[in-house]
């Protein structure tokens, strides 16, 4: 199952980077990419179940 969690505040482990209006692309049990929602929607928009984080922390 492929999932795109979008419109959230993403806190990464990479130097504690915070991405506002961010998204997380997940394939199976693996996070494949984090980034801005607008960028990841273009790349992972089709074939992914979309979950709106509603500006919550992910």
Render pLDDT for 16-50 as a digit per residue (tens, 0 to 9): 789 999 999 999 999 999 999 999 999 998 999 99
Burial of residue 33, with CB atoms counted within 10 A of its CB: 0-12 exposed, 13-18 middle, 19 or more buried: middle
CATH number for the domain formed by residue range(s) 2-52: 2.30.40.10
Give the DSSP H/E element, type plus range, for residue 43. helix 37-44
Which phi-psi region, left, alpha or beta, contains residue 54 (left: φ > 0; alpha: ψ -120 to 50)? left
For the chain, give every domain's residue range. 2-52
**Residues in a beta bridge with 27:** 2, 30
pTM value surpassing 0.85:
yes
pLDDT of residue 16: 77
């Amino acid at each position: 199952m492929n999932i795109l969690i979008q419109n959230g505040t993403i806190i990464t482990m990479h130097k504690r980077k915070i991405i506002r209006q961010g998204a997380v692309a997940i394939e199976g049990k693996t996070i494949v990419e984090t980034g801005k929602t607008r960028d990841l929607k273009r790349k992972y928009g089709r074939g992914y179940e979309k979950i709106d984080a509603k500006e919550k922390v992910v």
